[in-house]
């Protein structure tokens, strides 16, 4: 039997992707060293589907048709290198290996060059949408060799989520382009999740909403221009009761948040590129602050703000508009980072396509992605979504609402740093003149670092005292 496609790693993602491929008529093979996982695969498949599990790398590779296409769904880091090493002896020139995990993009560039020496095409591909996405239609972000992608295209387009009949997958660019785009996707994911969490707190402690009202508000928002996966699941999770106690489950969950690194990498690399993404930075650091539970308990007793108690009257539309404003800013920051990265790393990204494949399947899918797509369609060179006429106008019209929400947070001492970062970014970005001239003067004062002037050409140093 000759299989069309192979997957290494039959955990949740790998096995669901294989079943998805089989649903679309592809003959597929899976490899896992765990016999149980390899053997149970065939039982899960529907009748008539061609699907086989292997425990031997050699037998697995030899079962695939040429040029072979193999995707790795193993944890990022060493397991990826180990999996590649186990396949390598059986691969031929022209074969393709796709890493479908959340790998750190410099690792992808290294593997890309190492495998190119052996004439093997390596792809780094971000896959979003979790377990359900993998099974019924993920969003996929592949980067690697453009010509080799043609071998993968029919399979990926078949299994991807569809929006208006268009698949949520496209070839993104060279080398680590796919992993980079997925990394920034996750950074935006962190930012929007933090904004939603702050919104929940503002509703609860700021506006005095009851649990039911908060849940209903998110549900209503999901049926508006805020329609998105993250708002949808928030409305759903808030409706969930703990079976034992009957209490709202979310209120019983510890506030120590975890992370696996993609958000942090987005922020770290944004700093390297000098591409500011303050909402994402704040989202990463709020997960970090959440870990200092004991210190926070102590501080909550001594660092008191008296204005905390009374609730304020504000229409939920003000909060909704503020959220919209902050959300758009978060996407704008992430996509501006992609623009800078594409130039710096030579990815050749097309942001209209990125917006297009994020419209469905992925965690940050939202109605507004179509607006972003239109903006990049109109102007492929757009440096920042804030400069698009339509998007800019929607922010100008909602800015009074976010200013009001930030005031509520300030007055009541509710932490809303992501809202503040979104507004701060907007105000900085729309400032023709910033106060950074003072910084330049200070630098020259203490370190003779020199400055430029607005009234004449050249670099200057002043005798400040
Ligand atoms: C996705 C998610 C997925 C995963 C994140 C979570 O697009 O399907 O982003 O990749 O949920 O890695 O990251 P943290 O564990 O860091 O929150």
Do the two domains 5-175 and 437-465 of this chain adopt the same fold?
no
Q: What confidence score (pLDDT) does residue 307 get? A: 76
Active-site entry in 37, 52, 68, 182: 182
* 288-310 per-position pLDDT tens digit: 999 999 999 999 999 999 876 67
| Centroid of ligand 1 to alpha carbon of 53 (angstroms) | 27
Query: Ligand 1, closest atom to CA 261?
Result: 16
Which atom of ligand 1 lies nearest, measured to the CA of 262? 16
Q: How many CB atoms lie within 10 A of CB 70?
A: 22
225 classed as catalytic: no
Whether ligand 1 lies within 6 angstroms of the CB of 260 is answered as yes
Question: What is the b/e burial string over 160-174, where b = at least 16 CB atoms within 10 angstroms of the residue's CB?
Answer: bbebeeebbbbbbbb
**What 3-state class would DSSP assign to 28?**
strand
Mutate-to-test residue for ligand 1 from 228, 262, 357, 358, highest number of ligand atoms within 8 A of CB: 262
Q: What does the pLDDT look like over 2-16, one tens digit per residue? A: 999 999 999 999 999
Q: Is the CB of 206 under 6 A from ligand 1?
A: no
CA separation for the pair 266, 330 (Å, rounded): 13
Distance from the first to the final alpha carbon of the chain: 84
| Nearest-atom index, ligand 1, CA of 257 | 17
Q: What SS3 state is found at 228?
A: strand
CATH assignment, 182-429: 1.10.1040.10
Domain 437-465: homologous superfamily in CATH: 6-Phosphogluconate Dehydrogenase, domain 3 (1.20.5.320)
pLDDT at position 48 is 87
Ligand 1, residue 260: give the atom nearest the CA: 16
Cβ atoms of 111 and 84 within 8 Å: the answer is: yes
Tokens of 168: 């949520």
Q: Please, what is the average pLDDT of the chain?
A: 97
Angle at the Cα of 32 from the Cα atoms of 26 and 37, rounded to 5 degrees: 85
CATH, domain range 5-175: 3.40.50.720
Residue 296 in contact with ligand 1 by CB distance below 6 A: no
Confidence (pLDDT) at 34? 95
Residue 309: its pLDDT value, please?
A: 67
Rg for the chain (alpha carbons), in Å? 25
User: 191: which residues sit within 8 A by CB, 6+ positions away?
Assistant: 277, 279, 280, 282, 283, 330, 333, 334, 418
Q: What is the Cα–Cα distance from 121 to 347, expressed in whole angstroms?
A: 16
Long-range contact list for 288-294, CB < 8 A, 24+ apart?
290/255, 290/256, 290/257, 291/256, 291/257, 293/255, 293/256
* Entry pTM: 0.97
Q: What is the DSSP letter of 68?
A: P
> What are the extents of the domains in the chain?
5-175, 182-429, 437-465
Q: Is residue 362 in contact with ligand 1, taking CB distance under 6 Å?
A: yes
Q: What is the ipTM of this complex?
A: 0.97
Closest residue by Cα to atom 7, ligand 1, is 128
Region class of 405: left (phi > 0), else alpha (psi between -120 and 50), else beta: alpha
Cβ-based neighbours of 200, under 8 Å, separated by 6 or more: 214, 234, 238
Spatial strand order in the sheet of 51-54: 51-54, 28-31, 5-8, 69-72, 96-99, 121-128, 139-143
| Residue-by-residue pLDDT tens, the chain, 465 positions | 699 999 999 999 999 999 999 999 999 999 999 999 999 998 888 888 999 999 999 999 999 999 999 999 999 999 999 999 999 999 999 999 999 999 999 999 999 999 999 999 999 999 999 999 999 999 999 999 999 999 999 999 999 999 999 999 999 999 999 999 999 999 999 999 999 999 999 999 999 999 999 999 999 999 999 999 999 999 999 999 999 999 999 999 999 999 999 999 999 999 999 999 999 999 999 999 999 999 999 999 999 998 766 777 888 999 999 999 999 999 999 999 999 999 999 999 999 999 999 999 999 999 999 999 999 999 999 999 999 999 999 999 999 999 999 999 999 999 999 999 999 999 999 999 999 999 999 999 999 999 999 999 999 999 999
Q: Does the Cβ of 259 fall within 6 Å of ligand 1?
A: yes
């Amino acid at each position: 039997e000759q299989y069309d496609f192979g997957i290494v790693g039959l955990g949740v993602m790998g096995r669901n992707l294989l079943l998805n491929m089989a649903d679309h008529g592809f003959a597929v093979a899976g490899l896992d060293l765990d016999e149980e996982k390899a053997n149970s695969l065939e039982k899960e498949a529907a009748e008539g589907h061609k699907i086989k599990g292997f425990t031997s790398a050699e037998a697995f590779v030899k079962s695939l048709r040429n040029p072979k296409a193999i995707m790795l769904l193993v944890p990022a880091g060493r397991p990826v290198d180990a999996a590649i090493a186990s396949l390598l002896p059986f691969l031929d020139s022209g074969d393709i290996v796709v890493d479908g995990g959340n790998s750190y993009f410099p690792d992808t560039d290294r593997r890309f060059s190492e495998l190119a020496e052996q004439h093997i095409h390596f792809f780094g591909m971000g896959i979003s949408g979790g377990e359900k996405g993998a099974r019924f239609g993920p969003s996929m972000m592949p980067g690697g060799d453009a010509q080799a992608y043609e071998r993968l295209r029919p399979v990926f387009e078949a299994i991807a989520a569809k929006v208006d009949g268009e698949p949520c997958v496209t070839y993104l660019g060279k080398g680590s382009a796919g992993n980079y785009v997925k990394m920034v996707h996750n950074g935006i994911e962190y930012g929007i999740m933090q904004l939603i969490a702050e919104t929940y707190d503002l509703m609860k402690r700021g506006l005095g909403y009851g649990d039911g009202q908060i849940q209903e508000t998110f549900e209503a928002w999901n049926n508006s221009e805020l329609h998105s996966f993250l708002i949808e699941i928030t409305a759903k999770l808030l409706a969930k009761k703990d079976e034992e106690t009957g209490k709202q489950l979310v209120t019983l969950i510890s506030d120590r948040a975890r992370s696996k690194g993609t958000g942090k990498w987005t922020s770290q690399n944004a700093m390297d590129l000098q591409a500011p993404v303050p909402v994402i930075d704040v989202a990463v650091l709020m997960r970090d602050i959440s870990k200092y539970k004991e210190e926070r308990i102590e501080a909550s007793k001594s660092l008191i703000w008296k204005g905390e108690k009374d609730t304020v009257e504000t229409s939920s539309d003000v909060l909704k508009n503020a959220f919209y404003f902050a959300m758009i800013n978060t996407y704008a920051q992430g996509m501006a980072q992609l623009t800078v990265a594409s130039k710096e790393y030579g990815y050749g990204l097309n942001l209209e396509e990125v917006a297009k494949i994020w419209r469905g399947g992925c965690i940050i899918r939202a109605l507004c992605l179509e607006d972003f797509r239109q903006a990049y369609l109109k102007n492929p060179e757009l440096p920042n979504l804030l400069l698009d006429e339509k998007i800019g106008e929607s922010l100008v019209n909602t800015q009074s609402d976010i200013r009001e929400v930030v005031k509520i947070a300030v007055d009541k001492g509710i932490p809303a740093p992501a809202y503040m970062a979104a507004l701060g970014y907007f105000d900085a970005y729309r400032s023709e003149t910033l106060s950074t001239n003072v910084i330049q003067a200070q630098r020259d004062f203490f370190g003779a670092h020199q400055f430029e002037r607005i009234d004449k050409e050249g670099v200057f140093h002043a005798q400040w005292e």
